[in-house]
Structure 1
Amino acid sequence: MKKFLSLVTLGAALALGACGQEDKAAKAAPESAKKSIKLYTFDCGRIDMLDLSLFTQGDEYDGRTNASSVMCFLIRHPKGDLLWDAGLPTAIHDAGEEGVTSGPFGLTMPHTIEGQLAEIGLTVDDVDYFSPSHSHFDHIGDANRFAGAILLIDKDERAHMFRDEARTDEQSFPLYNALEEAETIEFDGDYDVFGDGSVTILAMPGHTPGHTSLLVQLENEGPVLLSGDMYHLQESRDNRYVPKFNTNVEDTLASMDRFEEIADETGARVIIQHVMADYEALPRLPGYLD
């Protein structure tokens, strides 16, 4: 039987309220908390955006395409291993080098998460925590393989994932339906994963109702801010473009403001998870940031 722990009613100790979120999220973790933390980057697929106009409310991207990365991350902490996002569905990998075209997206997946875990001596069963930034297919595609881990999820995103309409989606829902029975920690606001300020899930709604980003405090690299889908291109960040398919434009713009405030206050290295140049600048396995 699953265990479900709600953190919605907790105060600032774990789930940060709207007031003062920026100050608490941006506060540096103690040096002792940063030691021994490793951030591994996984190649979780490629997306050819065949109609880039979907990624802005206006006409700025009309007639354009874009080749993007799909990144997942493993954070190794003395208190446990956290997988952030789960990339494209494994069926894309099984389709071979040519991949799959689905609507406005050309999808390929050269590597599996299992294979990349094996490169650092781990298996799926070694993952203690799984947290998707949100429930779109390119971030939660391999999620059912991690239903044995503890699911860390924003309460609004969990409600969005398991709403009646989502259950009727025969393509997407089977990718993550096993998570409904996973041991779950649900939170409202930010969430300090290990209780030491080193890894903080940040509430960044708008792309989806409970979209999140991740702030990791590393000893040598310093703060690293993983975007989720706060942005899809560097140009989108520079110009504050909001995709047509975001669930709430005003929430997205407010989250962009907060994201940039945290980036400025911490001096974090920002990694936009769909920007190929950001992926290429990160260490290849078995390398890592620390």
Structure 2
Amino acid sequence: MGRLSRFLLAVAFTVAGGCKALEAPENSATPVTAQSATITLTRLDCGSALIKDFDAFFSDRPGLYPKGPRQITDSCYLIRHGDQQMIWDTGFAAGLKGQSKDLGPLVIHLDTTLAEQLAQVGLKPADIDIVGISHMHSDHTGQAAEFPAATLLIGKQDFEKSAGKDDPFGPWRGAGKSVTLLTTDQDVFGDGSVVALHLPGHTPDHLALLVNLKSGPVLLTGDLYHSAMAREKRGVPPFNTSREETLASMDRFEALAKKIGAKVIIQHEPADIAKLPAFPKAAK
């Protein structure tokens, strides 16, 4: 049994009704205790993209998907953990608001910013304690710098490889900055309620997120998958860091989803994000 498999046994606890003590995940410096804080999950609009040829763009094996255009979402999430606030992914840059930008194989669009949506639920960027980033691609990092007071949670190599021109993580460079760099799973709040899962392959240290709500566990995929078809067909984009690691991460992810009966949310899949309440309502 691998590290993640053993960890799954530790986090497969009662998520509706009473809670019980948990074992610490292997190699974790933070002991896992019984969950007590109220957890909610709110989906945020971080943009959309029209992929002009979905098969050509998202498959390293042509013919896996139907040819032609397909619209995808760019979703982000607000996790409230008691009086602590976490943002998961930050979408396209705020400067794109109200615009459509043709990038060749795709056209991207943004209607509203994270700051504007947070204001509607009574929060300011300064209220955010943690910004979690699934991976280093610009459709997930565009508004990260809007939260410079937050702790940044990101895969180690993704952070390192983002340095340089157009660095989205400038506020967290240098000595004394609040950054948590991951090369393994991380119990975010120390109580098993929110767990960053290290699932490399799309990028070197790509992450997904497990959120244990009272109503049941939710798995946010990052870009492990870009569509429901990709999950069904185990499709791998041509721009992934490693096909082998991607497929292994898919196996680990699916084992977890099955074991704990999680609701899977593919962040770029319109049908999946619709499984969660429409903003500003939250899943609980």
- The C-alpha deviation readout for 1:96-120, integer Å capped at 9, x for no partner, is 2x51111312111111101110111
Change (3 A) 1:153 1:231: same
Partner of 2:112: helix, strand, or coil? Answer: coil
Which residue in 1 is equivalent to 2:86? Answer: 82
Q: How far 1:62 sits from its partner (Å)?
A: 6.6
Change (3 A) 1:54 1:28: farther
Partner of 2:35: helix, strand, or coil? Answer: helix
Which residue in 1 is equivalent to 2:273? Answer: 279
Q: How far 1:134 sits from its partner (Å)?
A: 0.3
Matches of 2:223 and 2:261, distance apart in 1: 20
Partner of 2:190: helix, strand, or coil? Answer: coil
Change (3 A) 1:204 1:66: same
Equivalences for 1:1-290 in 2 at 5 Å? 17=3, 20-28=6-14, 31=19, 33=35, 35-52=37-54, 53-59=56-62, 60-61=64-65, 63-78=67-82, 80-93=84-97, 96=98, 98-162=99-163, 167=164, 170=165, 173-181=166-174, 182-219=177-214, 221-290=215-284
In the alignment, is the contact (CA less than 8 A) between 1:143 and 1:179 conserved in 2? no
Matches of 1:118 and 1:191, distance apart in 2: 29
Which structure has more relative contact order (CA 8 Å, sep 6+)? It is: 1
Partner of 2:237: helix, strand, or coil? Answer: coil
Give TM-score, length-normalised by structure 2. 0.87
Q: How far 1:19 sits from its partner (Å)?
A: 6.9
Q: How far 1:28 sits from its partner (Å)?
A: 4.9
Q: How far 1:27 sits from its partner (Å)?
A: 4.7
The residue type equivalent to 2:190 in the other structure is G
Any stretches of 5+ residues in structure 1 without a counterpart?
Answer: 1-15
Partner of 1:175: helix, strand, or coil? Answer: coil
In the alignment, is the contact (CA less than 8 A) between 1:74 and 1:82 conserved in 2? yes
In the alignment, is the contact (CA less than 8 A) between 1:35 and 1:218 conserved in 2? no
In the alignment, is the contact (CA less than 8 A) between 2:162 and 2:168 conserved in 1? no
Any stretches of 5+ residues in structure 2 without a counterpart?
Answer: 20-33
- The C-alpha deviation readout for 1:179-215, integer Å capped at 9, x for no partner, is 3244112232100001100000000100000100000
Q: How far 1:23 sits from its partner (Å)?
A: 2.9
Instruction: Give the helix-richer structure, 1 or 2.
Output: 1
Matches of 1:27 and 1:251, distance apart in 2: 28
Give TM-score, length-normalised by structure 1. 0.85
Matches of 2:179 and 2:272, distance apart in 1: 31
Change (3 A) 1:103 1:147: farther
Change (3 A) 1:233 1:201: same
Partner of 1:33: helix, strand, or coil? Answer: coil
| Percent identity (aligned) | 38
In the alignment, is the contact (CA less than 8 A) between 1:22 and 1:258 conserved in 2? no
